Structure 1
Amino acid sequence: MIASVISRPALDMRRGACPALSAPMMTGDGFLARVPLTDMITPQQLAEICRLALRHGNGILEISARGNLQIRGLTEASAPLLADMIALDLPLRDGLAVEVPPLAGIDETEIADPRPLAQAIADGAKAIAGLAPKMSVIVDGHGQLRLSDLLADIRLIAVSAADDICWKILLGGTEESGRVFNVLRETQAVEATLDLLRELSTLGSKARGRDLADNTLDAAMLDQGRSGMPASPRRQEAGPFGLIRLSEDLHTVGIGPALGQASAERLIALCKAAEALGIEALKPAFNHSLLFFGAKQACETLADFASGAGFIRSAADPRCQIAACPGSPACASATIATHDIAATAASQCGELLDGSFTLHVTGCAKGCAHPKVSSLSICGTSNGVSLIAGGKAADAPFASIAFADTNATLRCLSDLVGSERREGETSAACLSRLGPLRLAAATGQS
């Protein structure tokens, strides 16, 4: 039965597909399966997942931008993976993706614990059929680590209203770009969210939250009373990397595989180091990170070990400023080796990667690794490489170059930004000011 699920012809590589553990998605290096964890696991459990990746796949694991753990290189003969994974007694999601920040419930700075609300929505959504495969609901208590930059069909944000706590509901986009629908108390917010999901289910399996915002709901209903709504607290820029204090006895440290991908052997070594230091819990998190929980000294020592092993331990690492899909040959849709380009950019384009934007390197115009606008995108095509400024991967390029010229062109653009950037100006602002024509001239095209 499991084998028939894995080999069913409906599997494809469209961007809307969701490669769940029981329904893997075909890629260039075999099937990709997502392990949808909902809570902390132990280092020993992650090590066992890595061993399963070696046994059933090609031994490559990923942590996605949303914090999903993924196993690559599965085959139709890898059907036992599902049964083996269940035997590990992991906290696996079943049904709609209702996401909360990685520190939910243990972060003293949260306005409210989002987990009860998220659970109520997840339970209620089990009776709603026909939703888009990648439908996402985010419930954010607004603590130290927030999911503000992740796209969501429906987003609920905790806000303080007088002496009460309410939940602001937004439709589509990020926290900044989503359209405000309402601000409600907890019980009302749950019912309103389930009503919105039911409305989406009637629109078909491709309908998303932005469709409600753009087409379905009365415009007067959306953004109603926006000026009188409680304001969300000023957004903090804290990311998952580095040491975070949770209490006197508990800290967490964010560590990430370069470009979100690591071999099973390297992750097993990291897990063994964590276990030896007395670290008993970890959790995949957004921005391709792993959060390890333990005593301060143990977390700091583990971060030193990880850095020496090639992992990312700081947001200042240039590799944090690059979003790259697996690329060729891992993905059959990709036409360029994205990780090679990204690695060269990280080591040679320091003037460009100042943290003000995410350099997007994609193997095709689907742009899976970074579906949002980027100040600079590098996109593989059938004829070479397209360069896009201030747009998405599928937008019109300001220049098209041969793949062999990619690294030299990136260095040229980095040098241009370094020489043209004004005092106090970011790379993103400089790229925007220079504009497509000036950038094209720098690449030898005009």
Structure 2
Amino acid sequence: MSPLPKNLTDSSSPHPEEACRAVSKDAPAGSGASWSILRDAADAAPQDEGSGASEPDSREALRRGWCPSTLRPMETGDGWLVRLHPPGNALTPGQLRRVAELAEMHGNGLIEISARANLQLRGVSAQTHPALVEALLAEHLVDETEHDGPQKLVLTSPLAGHDPSELIDAAALAREIGQHARMVAGLPAKAGVIVDGGGLSLDDFAADLRVVAAEEGKIAIGLPDDTWLGPVTPSDAADAVIGLLHGLAAGRRAEPSAIRRLRDLPPAGLAKLIEASGLPMASAPQRCPAPARAGLFALRDGRFAAIIGLPFGRSDAGTLAEIADIAGRNGSNEIRCSPWRGLAFLGLDQKRAEAVLAAADALGLITQDMDPRLSVQACAGAPACSRGETPASGDAAVLAEAAAPLLASGLTLHVSGCVKSCAHPAAADLTLVGHDGRYDLVFNGTTRDTPTQRLDLSQIVQRLQPGQDFHTRLITGRASGPKV
């Protein structure tokens, strides 16, 4: 691969956009597909997190966000955010170490894992972005579509295809849906499909369509408003899902400003979509028990997996490089990002999986399902995010400690620096929405719901204590049910 021109990495470049656009001007003739992708990256100016909002202070405008990617970074308070979608949601230990090195080299060394199991590198600049993209291409870690639809449509358990309790091969079905969905033009960027094979339950994650193994060899498909279709066989499920996605894309083309998710279709439009599918109505599958989100897991082939969590979904690059090396030395052959904002190390024997967990614990990572930090979803917040109105990540650490008994009993807490809810679009038992240094409180809802009051952090901490009103309210009512 040809080296990048000097002006792409020269920090003295007079304007960030000039440095990025220099890719297309100076690309050598015949340099191949990688230069074509770099040109695309250069021509896609970074978007601010509130991009598209005609009124920057409008809470409704902030909700109309979009999804960053490797080639189209997002402007944040600490530089550009680059979202990485590894092919098949899988990395080797060597690739994870390389990502950590690149985060240090081209960003500020902070790495996140999103609630849709994507890697995010923060603090990238216009000068460093082209070299970062080229390095990621060399590692075969860039897997992006050419259109404006979702870069990662399908979410599965990190153990999909290996979990002995699965009723279907969720990994194979997810691959089939993902491949065919790339041909569906016009899907909203935030469209999502969950494929739940019956292993680690994904009931608490939001999606447009839920593809759930109802029993051995039978699948139900969930739509908004608790509408379920089916059953279908695993061999027919992908076609059924693609047909429904075509309907969503058609609805968006008809009303692009109004239809961003399947739930935005009017009742008549949803009824027409269901009729066109030809699928019968079905009963909702039984809701599964809450899964373990971290720890030691037995796999189908007699091997084991070690699943760890990153505190509030973020870590410094050095820590991830170290755990990647430890996993590699212990024989892990595959690493997957987890929707519980962590990493699953597969292909280990039991003793070595336990060694990986012990090392992760020593590094301050989450290794036990009862860790209260696992029940707190938080974005970076201010000052890292230009839209953050509160330091959400730091406040989340305070709240996790203050509400540890509640969190251990199953409480879910979402701390959002603004109304966009990047970390957790679904409902939580308690949602805190940053507003001018304080938080709007929503019980059993999302950032889109009407808050009951606005308080500062110290007031919230005080009222979460035993005997106080928030504590009492939270132990008597919980948000529940899958969000489609």
Fold shared by both chains (TM-score > 0.5): yes
Asked whether the 8 Å contact 1:356–1:428 carries over to 2, the reply is: no
Asked whether the 8 Å contact 2:390–2:437 carries over to 1, the reply is: no
Distance 2:398 2:471 in 1: 22
Residue from 371, 378, 382 that aligns with 2:432: 378
Matched, 1:276 2:325: no
Matched, 1:83 2:134: yes
Matched, 1:288 2:338: no
* Partner residue, 1:337: 391
**Cα distance change on mapping 1:61 and 1:348 into 2, 3 Å:** same
* Partner residue, 1:430: 476
AA partner of residue 24 (structure 1): P
* Partner residue, 1:139: 195
Distance 2:157 2:190 in 1: 18
* Partner residue, 2:41: 5
Deviations 1:385-410 (A, max 9, x none): 322223322433333234xxx13531
* Partner residue, 2:70: 21
Which runs of structure 2 are paired with 1:290-309 in the superposition (5 Å)?
290-293=343-346, 294-309=348-363
Distance 2:471 2:387 in 1: 36
Q: Secondary structure at the match of 2:81?
A: strand
* Partner residue, 2:33: none
Instruction: Out of 325-334 and 349-358, give the one that drifted further.
Output: 349-358
Matched, 1:182 2:230: yes
Q: Secondary structure at the match of 1:202?
A: helix
AA partner of residue 284 (structure 1): C
**Cα distance change on mapping 1:4 and 1:223 into 2, 3 Å:** closer
Distance 1:411 1:141 in 2: 42
AA partner of residue 160 (structure 2): A
Which runs of structure 2 are paired with 1:173-252 in the superposition (5 Å)?
178-204=226-252, 205=256, 206-212=259-265, 214-218=267-271, 221=275, 226=281, 229=282, 232=285, 235-247=288-300, 249-252=302-305
Distance 1:244 1:334 in 2: 37
* Partner residue, 1:437: none
**Cα distance change on mapping 1:411 and 1:296 into 2, 3 Å:** farther
Residue from 180, 183, 186 that aligns with 1:124: 180
Distance 1:271 1:32 in 2: 22
* Partner residue, 2:112: 62
Q: Secondary structure at the match of 2:90?
A: coil
AA partner of residue 269 (structure 2): T
Instruction: Out of 298-307 and 386-395, give the one that drifted further.
Output: 386-395
**Cα distance change on mapping 1:298 and 1:171 into 2, 3 Å:** same
* Partner residue, 1:169: 221
Instruction: Out of 30-39 and 233-242, give the one that drifted further.
Output: 233-242
Distance 1:364 1:355 in 2: 27
TM-score, with length taken from structure 1 = 0.84
Between the aligned residues of both structures, percent identity stands at 31
Deviations 1:284-328 (A, max 9, x none): 111111111211111111211111211111121111111111000
Asked whether the 8 Å contact 2:93–2:333 carries over to 1, the reply is: yes
Asked whether the 8 Å contact 1:351–1:414 carries over to 2, the reply is: no
AA partner of residue 75 (structure 2): M
Q: How many residues align?
A: 415
CA positional deviation for 1:215 = 4.1
Distance 2:291 2:438 in 1: 37
Distance 1:388 1:129 in 2: 36
Distance 1:346 1:207 in 2: 33
AA partner of residue 72 (structure 2): A
* Partner residue, 2:315: 262
Q: Secondary structure at the match of 2:133?
A: helix
Deviations 1:212-234 (A, max 9, x none): 474413288599865xx476355
The gaps in structure 2 that reach 5 residues or longer are 1-23, 25-37, 51-62, 146-150, 480-484
Asked whether the 8 Å contact 1:5–1:23 carries over to 2, the reply is: yes
Q: Secondary structure at the match of 1:67?
A: coil
Instruction: Out of 229-238 and 361-370, give the one that drifted further.
Output: 229-238
Deviations 1:413-439 (A, max 9, x none): 223359975xxxxx7343679xxxxxx
AA partner of residue 84 (structure 2): V
CA positional deviation for 1:337 = 0.9
Q: Secondary structure at the match of 1:106?
A: coil
Deviations 1:349-400 (A, max 9, x none): 3243234221111111222222222222222112633222233224333332
Residue from 411, 424, 435 that aligns with 2:462: 411
Distance 2:83 2:184 in 1: 22
* Partner residue, 1:369: 423
TM-score, with length taken from structure 2 = 0.78
AA partner of residue 342 (structure 2): S
* Partner residue, 1:152: 207
AA partner of residue 104 (structure 2): L
